[in-house]
Structures are given as C-alpha cells and as structure tokens.
Amino acid sequence: MSVTAALGFVASGCHAGVKRRRHDMAMIATDDGKPVTAVAVFTRNKFFAPPVGVSRKRLADNGGRAAAIVVNSGNANAGTGAQGYADAEAMCAATAEAVGCARDDVLVCSTGIIGTPLPMDRILAATPKLAKKLSIHGSEEAAKGILTTDHVPKEAVVKGSTFTVGGIAKGCGMIAPNMATMLAFLTTDADVSRDELQAILRDAANRTFNTLNVDGATSTNDTMILLASGRTGKPDLAEFADAVHKVCEDLTWQMARDAEGMTKMVTLRVTGAASDEEARIAAKAIAENNLVKCSWYGSDPYWGRLLGAAGSAGIDFDPDKAVVAYGGIVVSKAGTSAPHDEAAVADHMKNQRINIEVALGLGTGAAQVIGIDLGPGYIKENSVTS
C-alpha cells in the first residue's frame, strides 16, 4: 500500500478504453465519502488544461477540501476549449454520484495527448466500476492507472511516529522545475491545518520535484495533491514535514530512473554563485543544454560544455574563478583543464548516477538539479504522438 497506507483512504484503477490496453483511469477517495483537508500545487504553464482550471478553482471556492480525486491517462484534455471544461466537470459529477459525495468535493486530473477530446462515453461508463473497486488494497492499481509513457508505477510510503504519508506519481518526460512537474497524489492521516499543509507541500515540491529536469518542458497538466484525513491527530510538524519531503524525494528519483530514454541520472550542483537564484538559473541552463546532455549520454566529462552553458545563462560569471568537478574530482580550474586522474573520472562516468559540481567562486549562492542524459531513446519516444 502507498496512497492508501494512511488511515481513511481507498483507491482503485482500471482500463476504461482511453488507451488500447493498459490501465488508464484511477480514483482516490476517503473511505466514508466525507471531505478532508486538501491542498495542491499546479503547473505554472499558462496553457493549462481544463482539469487544472477546474481543480484549482474548486479548492479556492470550497476552502481546501476533497473527498475524491478522479484521474484519466492517455488523453490530457488540454487544448480542448469549453468542451474540455464541460468534460472535466462531468467526470467530477459522475465520480460524486458513484462515491456518494458532493460534486464540489471532487478533484479531477488528466494526462496524455494534447488537443484531442476525451472519449467521455468510455470514461463515464468506467467511473461507477472504479468506485465499486475502491479498496485499501487498490493503491497499485491506481498507480498504474495514472501512467502515460512511464514504464513502471511509482509508489512511496513513510511511517512517522504517529502518522503515515504515502503517495503515487507519474512522469518520465515533459518535466522541468516549475511545479508540479507531473501528476502526484499524496495522502496522510495526520491532522494538519490547510495553511500549514500548503506550506509543507510547496516546500517539499521545491526541494524535490522542482529539482528534476528531464527535458526543460513544463506540462499543461502538472498537478500535485495532498489529502489529510486527520485520523491520527496532530503530528510533530517538523517530523511530518520531513516525511512529506522523503515521500516526494523517493518519487522524484523513481521518476528520474524512468525518464524517457534515460541512461544517466546526474546530480548537478552549482555553488559559489552570486545568489541562490543565479545558481538555479545556471543549473537549469546546464541541465537543459542538449550538448551537455549528449556528453552525459556518451559518458564524456566534457567540462567545457558545462562552463559554456553557465557562461551564457545571463548570470554573473568569471571563468578565471570557475571550478568543475566530476565525482568530486576537479577536472577544470580557471576556465582551463586541471591535472586529474582521468581513469577515476572515466570510472565515475560509467555509473548510472553521476555527480557534478560547477563552482563559480563568486559568492555563497547554491542550487541543485537532477538532470537526465539525451540519447536515441528520448527522441524515439517523442517523435510520435501516439
């Protein structure tokens, strides 16, 4: 169990026919149909999908509560205009009727192909079946139901001293730091106020999901939702925040390992920047640079591409002060090559997980991103739309 590990939650998943064969719908709900505290973080993409608009407005209007979340994969219901909003509302209404809660207490998410209307006949026919399948044992089925090009479901659980936090996520492409970077659904049985829960969720997102940069693309449908049943009472807030962070961190690395075409995962740290913001800008520029990503794919410690990306990022930059290290081994100082153990660096570059530091030598600003290499697998995955 993951998203149903916390007291008060049930889940299910099924194949409704949105996709040819694989699971393509999921539902998460309270076990009694009553609403609980709900918070979310949504995409900042201005071309957001109708489900994002519906769920965002619902939480704003109802004071932050939900009794159920309904999700379809295989079709993003994005770029679908007024009909898309009507279809998202229809999914909420059908879920409310099937679960036995108010429509205003249902949130909706979609993920998949952009610009194609939802096959509502199949979705509405499957919704009552999803509700009947709701169970504390349904977390894996729900995790399968939200996947698109993912290869494996992603689940995580952390048990605190008095509470549990669990979650599922999907995402392996069209991921860049601008929250929510994918779909993620978390639950807890801790009793935490809406404002505290929102702050904890946003902080966790910034420290985990927002550090993952697969391809620099921010999705139209990115949503992260956290539901809190309150069944186990008030937790130690520091312990609880740490648990939420750990669940998100676990899911983030699972997403990185499943990234489209991935052969290398890179923990890239930019240090010594003039500010944290400038460090973030430089780290993002490096992680999204196709020449850099290709060098990662080729296990090539091509430090010049890293500095070239940082130097063109529009931040304070002095090559005479810059230092680059792969796996803790300095390969470049003052904008030129530094004597180093080439065999040791080559061994490090053979790993699936690579550590790189670009130290700018200008201040105390620092940032970290998780980057992914660029190879034939990514191009093959994204050269077709279905």
Angle formed by the axes of helices 81-99 and 120-133, nearest 10°: 30
Helix (H) or strand (E) holding 37: strand 36-42
Q: What is the 3-state secondary structure (H, E, C) of 202-266?
A: HHHHHHCHHHEECCCCCCCCCEEEEEECCCCCCCCHHHHHHHHHHHHHHHHHHHHHCCCCCCCEE
Strand partners, 170: 183
The CA distances from residue 206 to 102, 142, 201, 279, in Å, are 32, 25, 9, 14
Nearest to 64 by CA among 40, 42, 38: 38
User: Of 4, 181, 188, 271, which is the active-site residue?
Assistant: 181
CB 91 within 8 A of CB 56: no
Q: What is the 3-state secondary structure (H, E, C) of 358-379?
A: EECCCCCEEEEEEEECCCHHHH
**Other Cβ atoms closer than 10 A to 160:** 19
Task: Compute the distance between CA of residue 370 and CA of residue 386 in angstroms, rounded to an integer.
Answer: 28
**Does 181 participate in catalysis according to the annotation?**
yes
Q: Per the structure block, which two tokens stand in for 75?
A: 């079709």
Q: Which residues are catalytic, by number?
A: 181
